[in-house]
A = this chain, B = another copy of it.
Amino acid sequence: MTPVLNVDKPALRRIARGGAVLGSGGGGDPHIGRLMAEQELGDDKTVSVVSLDDLPDDALILPIAMMGAPHVMLERFPAGNEIPALVATMEKLMGREVSAILCIEAGGLNSVIPFIAAAQLDLPIIDGDAMGRAFPELQMVTFTLAGLNATPMAMYDDKGNGATFDTVSNQWTERLARALTIEMGGAAMVGLYPVIAGEIRDCLIKGSLSLAHRIGDLIETYGGQATETLASSLGGTMLFHGRVRDVERRLEGAFAKGSVKIEGQGDFRGRNVVLGFQNEFLSAEEDGRMLATTPDLITLIDANTGAPVPTDTVKYGLSVKVLGLPCDPIWRSDEGLAIVGPRYFGIDVDYTPLDVA
């Protein structure tokens, strides 16, 4: 296997920046995961990112992710035994050894968490994911559309408590695992959707990690001007540029919901947009007209530094650019829109693909 990338600390930093862009404002801060993964990498170690094409059909691939609130995990750094315990549990349940790690969610924190597992276990990571972005619930993956099961799933907390699930639907896995994550203190490491290479060749979103790396590279190079470059080179569009004039936030259930009002600057002077969010940005609206909605990506970028701005820290007065990126085509199917389209999140509009003309 010739790796697509050999990920050392600087490469990991670029992937974390790219993961923040693909997070669409949510999914947790990838730099938290980066700090953990850097401990595992040390100064010399690298993790190989490989193509799915290079794995035989029967190779067992295990997605590793963090479930819950990232800030909890930051306050109580993982004990280090969670991932080996997860992998041992899953190998026992599946009756075979894990050949590679997978990133289930290339946006946000979980773009980087799998690198901890890969570094600890000396395993490669597949260049791909099952969202192409961040989504808030674990059934919101292309694997669900392909009829694959989230279970057997395993989870471990930092105290050493573990659980496994065997459920009748991926929605039930989400419900049960969410309840247990809360009881475990708000955060846990999880292994879920164990798959063999042969069954995900058509439903894996390919190239996600090398894409994240490329995005991070462009931000490092272009800084405050990265948005325009990202839009043109990734087939997206710069939806807006302006200053944050109002942020409204509320907690509904486990979700942070709210909106951000932006007043146009430069070419956008005299116009106003409102971004709606539920963990991730879900809609960009101008005078009752939708500029973009989920599942397309809406990412807010600091106009001065090029750094992505998450929904949970965006502040009054910040000058921002709004980047729209097309989602993976699989999400634009009726089945895809049913689980991640605007109506699922209570936004009463039909989905219209992002206009990148």
A residues lining the B interface (CB < 8 Å): 89, 159-168, 172, 175-176, 179-180, 182-184
Count this chain's copies in the assembly: 2
Minimal Cβ-Cβ distance residue in B for A151: B162
B161 engages A172 (CB within 8 Å): yes
Contact residue among B161, B168, B176 (Cβ-Cβ distance under 8 Å from A168): B161
Contact residue among B160, B166, B175, B184 (Cβ-Cβ distance under 8 Å from A162): B166
How far is B180's CA from A182's CA once the two chains are assembled, in angstroms? 10
B162 engages A165 (CB within 8 Å): yes
Contact residue among B159, B162, B164, B183 (Cβ-Cβ distance under 8 Å from A179): B183
How far is B165's CA from A176's CA once the two chains are assembled, in angstroms? 13
Chain B residues with CB under 8 A of A172: 159, 161
A163 engages B160 (CB within 8 Å): no
Chain B residues with CB under 8 A of A183: 175-176, 179-180
Minimal Cβ-Cβ distance residue in B for A163: B165
A184 engages B180 (CB within 8 Å): no
How far is B163's CA from A166's CA once the two chains are assembled, in angstroms? 6
Distance between A132 CB and nearest chain B CB, rounded to angstroms: 29
Chain B residues with CB under 8 A of A168: 159-161
Minimal Cβ-Cβ distance residue in B for A162: B166
How far is B167's CA from A114's CA once the two chains are assembled, in angstroms? 24
Interface majority SS (helix, strand, loop, mixed), chain A: mixed
Minimal Cβ-Cβ distance residue in B for A172: B161
Minimal Cβ-Cβ distance residue in B for A160: B168
Chain B residues with CB under 8 A of A160: 167-168
Could you write out 8 A-B pairs with CB less than 8 Å apart? A159-B168, A159-B172, A163-B165, A164-B164, A176-B183, A179-B180, A179-B183, A180-B180
> Which among A163, A168, A172, A184 has the highest number of chain B CB atoms within 10 Å?
A163
How far is B157's CA from A172's CA once the two chains are assembled, in angstroms? 11
How far is B167's CA from A180's CA once the two chains are assembled, in angstroms? 13
Chain B residues with CB under 8 A of A167: 160-162
How far is B167's CA from A183's CA once the two chains are assembled, in angstroms? 13
Minimal Cβ-Cβ distance residue in B for A175: B183
Chain B residues with CB under 8 A of A89: 166
Distance between A79 CB and nearest chain B CB, rounded to angstroms: 11
Chain B residues with CB under 8 A of A180: 163, 176, 179-180, 183
Minimal Cβ-Cβ distance residue in B for A161: B167
How far is B172's CA from A102's CA once the two chains are assembled, in angstroms? 30
How far is B161's CA from A301's CA once the two chains are assembled, in angstroms? 42
Chain B residues with CB under 8 A of A165: 161-163
B163 engages A176 (CB within 8 Å): yes
Distance between A271 CB and nearest chain B CB, rounded to angstroms: 45
Other than A161-B176, A163-B165, give 20 A-B pairs with Cβ distance below 8 A: A89-B166, A160-B167, A160-B168, A161-B165, A161-B166, A161-B168, A162-B165, A162-B166, A162-B167, A163-B163, A163-B164, A163-B166, A163-B176, A164-B164, A164-B166, A175-B183, A179-B179, A179-B180, A179-B182, A180-B183
